Amino acid sequence: MGLDDSTLINYVFNSIGLIGTILIFIFNSVLILIILIKCDSRSPDNRLILILCVIKVIDGIEYTILYMAKLIIGYEWFSASNLQCKIYTFITQSSPRIEITTVMVISIVRYVFVYYGIKKRLLFWILILALSISPALVIFLYGAISGDVKPTSSYLQRVPYTLPGLLTTVITSIIPFLFLIPCWTITFCYFGIGYKVNKELNKLIKEAKSTNNQPLIVNIKKQKTMLFIQLIAVFILYNLNYLASYITHMLKFIIGYKRPPFIDALIFTAGRTTCVFNSIITISFQPEINNEFKLILIKSKLQLKGIFNRFRNIQ
């Protein structure tokens, strides 16, 4: 039994995926409650984040069912061209692209406000979002309905448009851009926001140094460090995580390269990792929701500490 053994790959990676989807469900359910109860849910960007969280909760439910089915029944149940395979193909191919497109629209909302002070009505951004996700919906819904679907080498994902022909060539040339365009847009917007914020922090630190305000200097330096970590995370999640996918996709066209099962599993899991962290990255650039979430974490930590201390005193 080697690294490319399909049974081992599906047991290990589906188990990891199941843990990730449960965390996705819990985290985004909490965010939905925070937005509805604690934050201004009328704000367009907050409502778009609410939409993202709802998508994430649905994603968590779907993937939990799929992962459990594969672990209990076996990955062979999703064999090529059966109904389960078609459903699995549509979910696993469309949902991450819909999700990352939603993150892209939210990043644009933040960018145009930070740089230009522009605030559009929610309906405008909903229309932009609907237009942006429609290519992924159409492409993968048609691909699943057509029956031209089959598992990849790892059996962790299913892909449409596998039969030779003009349609397959055209569509498979378009599909990478359903990730590339949102990922590059997200990177541009958040790095742009980071640049703007960093300039403001540099001004503040100069003023703090002129008045020798050491506590403020320390606080600003912490904010600059956190900003740097946020931008590194953006670069990794929306660029490095998909790099191997882009390279192997190009090699497939150029030399007919086929991913070994273990490499295919790593590439699929890298994409799912980005999905796990989408909401975290998004709220990190939204102070209101981020602060409320941190407050909940602090309260939960204090409550757990209190429970632990009471339990220790009883002993």
The closest of 262, 29, 285 to 156, measured between CA atoms, is 262
Q: CB of 285 within 8 A of CB of 190? A: yes
Predicted TM-score (pTM) of the model is 0.89
**Neighbouring C-beta atoms of residue 63, cutoff 10 Å:** 23
Q: Could you tell me what percentage of the chain is helix, strand and coil, using 3-state DSSP and rounding each to the nearest 5?
A: 85, 0, 15
Neighbours of 266 (CB within 10 A): 19
Count Cα atoms within 13 angstroms, Cβ side, for 191: 13
Distance of CA 92 to the CA centre of its chain: 13
Cα-based torsion angle of the residue sequence 207, 212, 216, 217 in order, rounded to the nearest 10 degrees: 80
Q: What is the pLDDT of residue 106?
A: 95
Compute the C-alpha angle 24/27/30, nearest 5°. Answer: 140
Q: What pLDDT does residue 163 have?
A: 84
Instruction: Go through 271-295 and write b for each residue having 16 or more CB atoms within 10 A of its CB, e for each that does not.
Output: bbbbbbbbbbbbbbbbebbeebbee
The mean pLDDT of 229-253, rounded to a whole number, is 91
Residue 172: count other Cβ atoms within 10 Å of its Cβ. Answer: 17
**Residue 290: pLDDT over 90:** no
Nearest to 158 by CA among 55, 102, 98, 77: 77
Query: Would the pLDDT of 299 be above 80?
Result: no
- Give me the residues paired with residue 149 across strands: 160
For residue 286, the SS3 value is coil
The model's pLDDT over 208-225, given as tens digits with 9 standing for 90+, comes to: 888 888 888 888 888 899
Do the beta carbons of residue 54 and residue 24 sit within 8 Å? no
pLDDT score of 44: 84
Confidence band of 310 (pLDDT split at 50, 70, 90): low
Q: In sequence order, what DSSP letters do the residues of 228-277 get, joined into one string?
A: HHHHHHHHIIIIIHHHHHHHHHHHHHHH-----HHHHHHHHHHHHHHHHH
Residue range 72-127, pLDDT digits in tens: 988 887 776 678 888 888 988 999 999 999 999 999 999 999 888 888 899 999 99
Domains of the chain: 6-304 (1.20.1070.10)
Closest CA to 282 of 2, 17, 4, 50: 50
At a CB cut-off of 8 Å and minimum separation 6, what does 270 contact?
A: 241, 242, 244, 245
159-193, pLDDT tens digit by residue? 888 888 888 889 988 999 999 999 999 999 999 99
**Positive or negative torsion for Cα 252, 255, 261, 264:** negative
pLDDT, position 151: 85
pLDDT for res 313: 65
Digit-coded pLDDT (tens) for 61-76: 999 998 998 899 888 8
Residue (of 67, 93, 91, 87) closest to 11 by Cα position:
67
Dump pLDDT digits (tens) for 18-48.
Answer: 999 999 999 999 989 888 888 776 788 889 9
